[in-house]
Amino acid sequence: MLLLSGIHIYPIKSVGGISLTEAIVERRGLQYDRSWMLVDETGRFVSQREIPEMALLRTAISSPFLEVYHKNNPEDKIQIPLEIQATAYPRIMVEVWSDRCAARLLDDSIHAWFSRILGQSVRLVYMPDTTRRRADGRYAPSGQVVSFADGFPYLIIGDASLADLNSRLEVPLPMDRFRPNLVFSGGEAFEEDQWSDFSIGDQAFRGVKPCARCTIITTNQETAERAAEPLKTLSGYRKNGNKVLFGQNVIWMGEEPGFIKVGDPITHPAR
């Protein structure tokens, strides 16, 4: 039996995530997932690829705020409103890979905090509901949208897939290296690669493309240190062309916001 065993959101792209027991599902992803993003002076996104220290920033929802702090200094925190009146903030065009989309530039005091903590000039932007950034149309149906995530609204990984990888590593790794939104128990290693239409509870999803991994998975999310693994081992048995695959990109097929919770059954995956 397949069961949803983990739900994770990453409110700020490439910053530490939050584990939930239940969540609201929306077209762009789980509620609050990657709704914020750090950009450089040109408006281009920054991530752990360039700034591994971003891994040490922690997030927490303390309504009505999103709180952010450094793992090693939790008293030095900043609060960001969860509900943002977009028209109160300047509009800015930002870049996420090859996409350009509209965002809202938050307060100077917020930019100053992140710049001080990370040691370089960055700015925090927010994606309002009016922004329609398209999911990768080569794989997702027309009209699918995404937050500031790399290309798709959801990423799912099976516990068995991580167990298979860890059986090949000298030091096992936690799931947070791979930053999934959805984790499931049961089934076989890497069976999610083949999933098309499936349901979590009463919510319909569709797997669209195995996830190609980058150097972020070599960044220890507790120390920000980098090493060769797990990319080295994955390259030996999970390579397709020049891409290393781990996890499945997913879209939600609903219309109105839905609801999922840990323990929900996962049904009808195509195997």
Cα 160 from Cα 139, distance rounded (Å)? 25
pLDDT of residue 270: 52
pLDDT of residue 268: 75
What was the pLDDT predicted at 222?
97
**What pLDDT, in 10s, does the model give residues 67-121?**
999 999 999 999 999 999 989 999 999 999 999 999 999 999 999 999 999 999 9
Mean pLDDT over each residue of the chain, to the nearest integer? 96
- DSSP per position, 184-210: EESS-TTGGGG--EEEETTEEEEEEEE
Number of alpha carbons in the 13 Å side-chain half-sphere of residue 131: 24
Domains in the chain, ordered, with CATH? 3-267 (2.40.33.20)
Burial of residue 71, with CB atoms counted within 10 A of its CB: 0-12 exposed, 13-18 middle, 19 or more buried: middle
Q: How far apart are CA 172 and CA 270, in angstroms?
A: 29
**CA dihedral for 67, 36, 209, 260, sign (positive or negative):** positive
The tokens of 121 are what? Answer: 């000039």
Q: What is the pLDDT of residues 166-191, one digit of tens each?
A: 999 999 999 999 999 999 999 999 99
- For residue 269, what pLDDT is reported? 62
Residue 232 has pLDDT above 70, yes or no: yes
Q: Give the Cα separation of 195 and 268 in Å (integer).
A: 9
- DSSP H helices, the chain, are 108-118, 159-166, 231-237
